[in-house]
Structure 1
Amino acid sequence: MTEPTAIVSPRRPRVLTPGLTALDPGVERYVVRGGGVHAVALEAGDAVELVDLHGGQSCELVLFAPDGSDALEALGLRAAGPAGGIQAILAGEGEDVQRVRAGLARRGLDFGRVGSARLFGPETAPGEEVGLRASEAGYLVVAAPGAPMSPWEQSPPTDLLLFIRRARPPQPGEVRLPEPLAEPRLDLHIAPASVEPYVVRAGEYIQIIDIQGRQCSDFVAFQERALERGLVRGLDNLTTRTLLGVAYPRPGLLSKFFDADMNPLVEVVQDTVGRHDSFNLACTARYYEDQGYFGHVNCSDNFSRQLAAYGIGAQKGWPAINLFFNTNVDANSNIWFDEPWSRPGDYVLLRALTDLVCASSACPCDIDPANGWVLTDIQVRVYPEKNLFKRAVAYRMTPDAPAELTKETGFHPRTAALTRDFVEYRGYWLPATFARNGPIDEYWACRERCVAIDLSPLRKFEVLGPDAETLLQRTLTRDVRKLGEGQVVYAAMCYEHGGMIDDGTLFRHGPNAFRWIGGDDYGGIWLQQQAKDLGLDAHVKPATGQIHNLSVQGPCSREILREIVWTPPGRAALDELGWFRFTIGRIGGFQGIPVVVSRTGYTGELGYEIFCHPNDAPAVWDAVMRAGEPFGILPMGLNALDMVRIEAGLAFAGHEFDSTTDPFEAGIGFVVARKDDDWIGKEALARRKANPRARLVGLALSSNELAAKGDPVFLGRAQVGQVTSAVRSPLLKQSLALARVDVAHAGIGTALEVGKLDGLQKRLPATVVRFPFYDPEKIRVRA
């Protein structure tokens, strides 16, 4: 008898969506930044969980009752004293400070009526938790206080995690709004599949919020003065692209948007998503009809109905900024789209450049992925002109991490006075060029005299504890046991398969005290995870917010710094500082600014890096520039820095290496010199070294044309490699490139070609040459 076939119930295939919250319904997560503050409203029965993420961080908290009195007892806590730490933080600046101050003012709350409770402390272990439950409603303020850290200390204030588990999770259709950025003049709710018009005055800010995530919102704006004259002058995407030099449509937002008469209407101030559509129409009836959905509600018809009251005639399709709409253009100019990138609470902040009539939609598209298949709400808030919101885009350490807005470095007050050409780099604004000189002058200053470069976004992590050396010996490609106090070593971190996580420099401050300086936040996360998995007594604390650095590079750098760097007895003086060594000292003598000075750099020249607290950064900049003035010192931006680092053959993440590339393929195989112990990636790297697939080579182009990252490298019709970085060298007077090439064709003198256009129609002849192109023996950097 045949056994009956089992019936398997159909199950939805599992899809990973780290872009949306991975928390249970009713659970909210907030990050209380080290040295920062956060506030959230509680309801009776809500559970509160606080986590000391990195250990050793104190926590101060206050709970206001609705009438402004002290309600700490509702959390089962008693006041230990006044809220001095919180008040000190709120007296400063920052996005979190501004938001909390606005929330307190809106509720009329006064710290004079309450005390604060203290949790955690210096002995708290990483990941330690405290659970509380609110017996009544209140307004919770949580701070992670900490004093400014000297660069030779290793005790930065670190982040706390705050989880709220709501006693009453939001019900389907219920909207819970994020706290306003400031006190709004207008707070407008837009229900799903609808449009709302509103008027905005010049200088006011418009915040458009995706409340629940993955919901598109079309935005239109019209010049009010033109409407009064009977003229309809709204956003014109073709004019905007032309004026901003973007002839080809692309996803994302431009900095400003214009009407057809070339008048600027709005500018983008903040964007926490980075993925929008600024070249298509708002959705139209025709789109749905072509899909077979006749009579489907659409944004264009909704706009026409709502804008009629302002004398604006109907249109079948409205030019709009399609916020949160995830579109792209493929190689054949076909437009495609997928689910939005926006997360719950993501927003775009615009500033009106003239008086405007605006309208925003909550897009009704439910027949494709445009809104993640579920229609939700949009919130629009208009803030008065008196507010000051800094320009920023969102940066996320990992896909499911909370968004962090772009920050300014401690040196920004000085660099911003010299240029407006800033680019976002690793969550910070850095100058690309300086207005008075430009990248070529900056380049020659570095090669012939001296330059000052703001490299503060480099990630700093303090690695501390009895097992710190063991952790680093396990995770880096260098032999950390050979590193003495006051020494620095360049190393790589690799995965088990040999692909690189990051490169960086390791400073040894003491027997159990190290500082890792790399390019990526994930390096610190990975070190923390390895310490936990190995059961090591080692603590990894992020310190980037407490240590900013100025790179002083060039032949005159030693003479300049000799005049201003004081070092105590027992520490190496500047003239005694060897290559890859550091010393502790002060700028300006015994009572001066505390600094750490290392003989390191990223230019191929003699040079140093000065590490200081961000609060001291302007004074450090001033001292360096004053001392350097007789030598012709110049500030240097990222464009010129890229030129000198390529000439020097120095690797850059995302160019010469990524997680698919090992150190040998990245041109830094010298960092893998260990044979002792068992370290992560050891076996894989041994296999890769014995059986190499590709090698990083230098290419000298016989044309003056410039290669570019990603250009294919050919031998005949066969592609044998790819350009990773390229430069036209002012000093060597030719176009050069770094390229990853198959080992069979990587020998010095090999004739290759760099493909342009489609790779076949145009080729740039090139020859494999020795690199570094500039000072290959490193005589200058060792001088």
Structure 2
Amino acid sequence: MGNLSQHLSVETEQFFHLQAALQQVQLRVDPQSAAIFELDAQDDLELNLPAGQGIEILVRNAQGKIQLPLLQLVSPNGIISIGTAVQTLEQLVQQDSVAQRLEYQLQKFKIAQTDLDVVLRVQHTEHVRFHAPEPLSVIVLNTGKNMQVDQQDAIDEVQVMIHKAKAQTEYLPAPLAQPIQEIRISKASAKTYRVKAGQWIQIIDVSGKQCSDFLAFDANALAQGQEIGLDAVATRTVLGHSTPSPGIHSRFYGTDMQALVEVVQDTVGRHDMFLTACSPKFYEDSGYFGHLSCTDNFNRILNPLGLTPKAAWPAINFFYNTQVESCGSISMDEPWSRAGDYILLRAHKDLLCASSACPDDIDPSNGWVPSDIHVRIYAESEQFLRSQLYRTHPEEMPRMTKQSGFHSRIAALTSHLVEYHGYWVADEYHGWGAKAEYLACRERVAMIDLTALRKFEITGPDAESFLQYMLTRNVRKLAIGEIVYSAICLETGGMLDDGTIFRLGENNFRWVCGDEYTGTWLKQKAQQLGYRVSIRHSSDQIHNVAVQGPKSRELLKQLIWTPEHQPNLEQLAWFHFTLGRLGNAQGIPVMVSRTGYTGELGFEVWCHPTHAEQVWDAIWSAGQAFEIAPMGFAALDMLRIEAGLIFAQHEFDAQTNPFEAGIGFTVPLKSKEEDFLGKQAMQNQTAQSRHKLVGLILEQNEAAEHGDLIYVDRYPVGVVTSATNSPLLKKQIALCRVAPQYASAETTLEVGKLDGQKKRLKAKVVNLPFYDPERTRVRA
């Protein structure tokens, strides 16, 4: 049977590699950045630009000489001209952090200042395609000056597609820095390598869907005859987490409970730390006698180094797609990793490491086809940002977790940083903690970085009519300088997102929401429906800090200067914004809105990220007189639940409409006569049949959790969407969505724990919000 499997696996490998061959490579150029693309002979380079945005291009031949004419234009759209790199020079002359980052990229790509005198300029087109008659390096400059908060000319990302003349079966990404070791691990094999403390280990899946088992041993302990290796049980015990990931839960521990390596970047996010490396027993139990295993390979390469052979090596199985089901069983599926995905580790000690390219071809663990693994080692002097990479949509290249402009100030106050929607945010702060931060907001003033909110500039002759159709609110009623909170729904009535729409002019709007994909979806809809509207992603140009609490106005009015034609902080009405400067008429440009997510009087201060540190410092310094506290997301969650404010993937999702999410006030079915997305679906649902969002106060001091079912007798009638311990009520509280028959105040319900039948927590329905029912505080 083993011989038969080997014969079948060859044919299977040929088939799957044919199917997985890379004929098209989807990439991008980030805003205010440069990127280099290596083209083989006869490849095509396709660029998709935001409306009204231009780019600049440099071309090098195989010998490294700049030769613009070598890149042949295929689709003659727009204006392609040769001239000075005006946009790039405008960015460089700013001499700020954005300019410095671009300078670093140009140096990395070996582009001299004189090279910018003559470039290809692409303008007045949204699509252009070039052809490479010979191997070329194409440097795309997606550059331009900063956008200030009162402007809407943001540089958006450029989508790139490389059409390969010859399909590739693997993709090895460019090094993150200059490697000091390059190690290729052929399929169905393993290799050892040594790493010094502080050095970086990048393990790359070059073909996708390939498991790579990883071992690491304390090299100094080995020299003394002690075998101290990675231990999954020790790691889970110390972390309180199933598998390490960049951020708080990032370290792999050894059997001595000391950290050996730390996860710094991860482009996959699903690995295994429950099972051993594949072993002879695994294959024999499956009927494949004599099948090669990772354990065999590890024994072969480690035994000469003095390590005792094992029947099955306990290993970290990178790119291996396992998960623990609610019933406790461990399930497996094909790996999520794609060609070029990687995990980046940093060594905490001098290590002896071993990595495998797993030989398993009898189940989904390698997508049925073993392939190579590539390892790069970088010097300890290099620096790489922590990152959990994510994708806005499945086809795109992964995105790096970002740091906001306030990050340096936040990181100086706490190490409790968690990834939230593609940004590092503070969970809580050293010396304060969630409850103290909560109390500061309720009693005095607190500030929190909310940069992770996504911003989109929506302009053009059809901007108002487009938003009138896309949002549930009546946008036509908005005055310039006014803001309104709205849902944005699918045709089904389910909520895609919620957010606030700012009216900056007659046909000028700024949409601020939670999900980056919302902008992509808006662009698609505008194109499909034929609206003359420009939608630009401006999140990289506008960062914001919320200043919340009863003393927030008193604090900020000392700092914000406003011109005569703009309302000052005393005059600023709820859900309105003003434009001004920090300190005086010559200060940093800022926008201040009277908005927040706490249920308290509060404001948000919006600025360009290059000014973020100065804005933070000014607020923090002036706030000392008011006993200001920094605030993390743990405290924010307590505040927003007490205030009855909803959160994506908790109170709403694509299968929950605004009425069911508790924000029916955002849907004027009767007063908004014009059609809008989701209107018909919501009209088809009778008000009496809708599940309702209500509050629960639990009788016990045991906590409810998101996802717990709500019961009456044996059967569920609802679900807990969010829960917290309320410092205000000194009780456990929850938001929950229940059947309309059980939504009345004072109704007694039970929260089901375990399987819902083994344990129940008694609770009583209350009206929302728990805190300040008349919203007098936020309107103060």
Deviates more, 1:378-387 or 1:686-695: 686-695
Once the two structures are TM-superposed, the CA of residue 754 in structure 1 deviates from its matched residue by 1.4
Residue identity matched to 2:400: L
Of 61, 81, 102, which residue of structure 2 is paired with 1:65? Answer: 61
Residue 721 of structure 2 aligns with an amino acid whose one-letter code is T
The letter for the 2-side match of 1:160 is: V
Q: Does 2:689 correspond to 1:685?
A: no
Give the SS at the match of 2:203. strand
Matches within 5 A, 1:440-519: 440-519=435-514
Matched, 1:104 2:109: yes
Instruction: Give deviations 1:312-371, integer Å, cap 9, x for gaps.
Output: 221121111100000011233221100001111110000011111111111111111111
Alignment equivalent of 1:753, drawn from 750, 763, 771: 750
SS in 2 for 1:169: strand
Q: Look up the equivalent residue of 1:139 and give its one-letter code.
A: S
Give the structure 1 partner of residue 121 of structure 2: 119
Query: Which residue is equivalent to 1:663?
Result: 658
Residue 252 (structure 1) shift: 6.6
8 A Cα contact 1:471 1:530, kept in partner:
no
Q: Does structure 2 retain, via aligned residues, the 8 Å contact 1:664–1:689?
A: no
Per-residue deviation, 1:103: 5.5
In the TM superposition, what whole-angstrom CA distance separates every residue of 1:97-156 from its partner, at most 9, and x where no partner exists? 699568636xxx6554575424333x44xxx21121223323221110021111111111
RMSD: 2.3
TM-score between the two structures when normalised by the length of structure 1: 0.92
Give 1:688 deviation, angstroms.
Answer: 2.3
Deviation at 1:689, TM superposition (A): 4.3
CA apart distance, 1:734: 1.9
Alignment of 1:365-380 (within 5 A): 365-380=360-375
How far apart are the structure 1 equivalents of 2:505 and 2:711?
50
Change in 2 beyond 3 A, CA 1:775/1:23: farther
- After superposition, the C-alpha distances for 1:727-777 in whole angstroms (9 at most, x for unaligned) are 221122222111101001111111111122332232222111111010010
SS in 1 for 2:501: strand
Quote the residue 2:7 is aligned against: none
Question: CA, structure 1 residues 505+82, in 2 after alignment: closer, same or farther (shift >3 Å)?
Answer: closer
Q: Secondary structure at the match of 1:759?
A: coil
8 A contact 2:279–2:295 mirrored in 1: yes
Residues of 2 paired with 1:455 and 1:774: CA distance?
Answer: 22
Is 1:650 the counterpart of 2:645? The answer is yes
Task: Give the equivalent residue in structure 2 for 1:435.
Answer: 430
- 1:134 pairs with 2:132: yes
Q: Deviations over 1:394-414 (max 9, x none)?
A: 121112222111110111011
Moved more, 423-432 or 300-309: 300-309
Contact 2:58 2:120 (C-alpha < 8 Å) held by counterparts = no
Q: Residue 229 of structure 2 aligns with which residue?
A: 234
| Letter aligned with residue 705 of structure 2 | A
1:358 corresponds to which residue?
353
Q: Does 1:300 align with 2:295?
A: yes
Structure 2: distance between partners of 1:409 and 1:317? 44
Q: Please name the residue that 2:8 is paired with.
A: none
Q: 1:213 to 1:176 in 2, by over 3 A?
A: closer
CA distance in 1 between counterparts of 2:394 and 2:364 reads 20
Match of 1:733 in 2: 730
Q: Separation in 1 of the partners of 2:184 and 2:117?
A: 36
Deviates most, 679-688 or 348-357:
679-688
Where do 1:172-191 residues align within 5 Å? 175-191=170-186
Contact kept? 1:58, 1:118, Cα under 8 Å: no
TM-score in terms of structure 2 length? 0.93
Q: Kindly state the Cα deviation for residue 698 of structure 1 after the two structures are TM-superposed.
A: 0.9
**Amino acid of the structure 2 residue aligned with 1:120:** V
- Aligned twin of 1:10: none
Change (3 A) 1:569 1:97: closer
2:725 and 2:694 map into 1 onto residues whose CA distance is 16
Match of 2:517 in 1: 522
Specify the alignment match of 1:9 in structure 2. Answer: none
Partners of 2:437 and 2:489 in 1: how far apart?
34
Q: CA deviation at 1:230?
A: 2.0
Aligned partners of 1:241 and 1:437: how far apart in 2? 27
1:85 matched to 2:88: yes
Contact 2:442 2:600 in 1 (8 A): yes
Decide which of 44, 66, 72 is 2:41's aligned counterpart: 44
Inter-partner Cα distance in structure 1 for 2:65 and 2:206 = 31
In the other structure, the counterpart of 1:700 is 697
CA distance, structure 2, for counterparts of residue 94 and residue 289 of structure 1: 60
SS in 2 for 1:381: strand
**1:517-596 to 2 correspondences below 5 Å:** 517-596=512-591
Q: Deviations over 1:514-537 (max 9, x none)?
A: 001010112212211221111110
Does the CA-based 8 Å contact 2:455-2:542 persist in structure 1? yes
Residue 760 of structure 2 aligns with which residue? Answer: 763
Name the CA shift for 1:250/1:713 in 2 (closer, same or farther; >3 Å): farther
Q: 1:402 to 1:527 in 2, by over 3 A?
A: same
What do the CA deviations read for 1:264-314 (whole angstroms, capped 9, x no partner)?
211111001100001211111110111111111110100111112322221
Give the letter for the 2:296 counterpart: D
- Report what 1:155 is aligned to: 153
**Is it true that 1:640 corresponds to 2:638 in the alignment?**
no
The answer to whether the 8 A contact 1:252-1:278 is kept is no
The aligned runs of 1:329-368 (5 Å cut-off) are 329-368=324-363
Unaligned runs of 5+ in 1: 1-19
Q: Is the Cα–Cα contact under 8 Å of residues 216 and 230 in structure 2 kept in the other structure?
A: yes
CA deviation after TM superposition for structure 1 residue 699, in Å = 1.0
Amino acid at match of 1:264: A
Matched letter for residue 702 of structure 2: E
Quote the offset at 1:693 in angstroms.
3.1
Matches within 5 A, 1:396-435: 396-435=391-430
**Residue range with higher mean Cα deviation, 688-697 or 660-669:** 688-697
Residue in structure 2 matched with residue 773 of structure 1 by the alignment: 770
Question: 1:355-394: per-residue Cα shift (whole Å, max 9, x none)?
Answer: 1111111111111111111222111000001100011101
Deviation at 1:24, TM superposition (A): 7.8
Q: Give runs of aligned pairs for residues 587-626 of structure 1, distance below 5 A.
A: 587-626=582-621
Q: Which range moved further: 497-506 or 691-700?
A: 691-700
Match of 1:586, SS state, is strand
1:324–1:341 Cα contact (<8 Å) kept: yes
SS of aligned partner of 2:165: coil
Q: Would you say 1:317 and 2:312 are equivalent positions? A: yes
Closer, same or farther: CA 484–66 of 1 in aligned 2, 3 Å: same
Residue in 2 aligned with 1:285? 280
Three-state SS of the structure 1 residue aligned to 2:685 is helix
Question: Cα gap change, 1:344/1:627 in structure 2, threshold over 3 Å: closer, same or farther?
Answer: same
Shift in alpha-carbon separation, 1:78–1:467, aligned structure 2, 3 A = closer
The count of corresponding residues between Structure 1 and Structure 2 is 751
Contact 1:64/1:114, CA 8 A, preserved across alignment:
no
Choose the corresponding residue for 1:165, options 163, 166, 186.
163
8 Å Cα contact 1:479-1:674 kept in structure 2: no
Give the letter for the 1:585 counterpart: G
Equivalents in 2 of 1:104, 1:462: separation in Å? 32
Separation of aligned partners in 2, 1:95 and 1:367: 51
Contact 2:21 2:167 in 1 (8 A): no
Give the secondary-structure state (helix, strand or coil) at the position aligned to 2:179: coil
CA distance in 1, matches of 2:661, 2:730: 25
The code of the aligned residue for 1:88 comes to L
Q: Quick one: structure 1 residues 35 and 234, their matched pair in 2 at CA, closer, same or farther if it must change by over 3 Å?
A: same
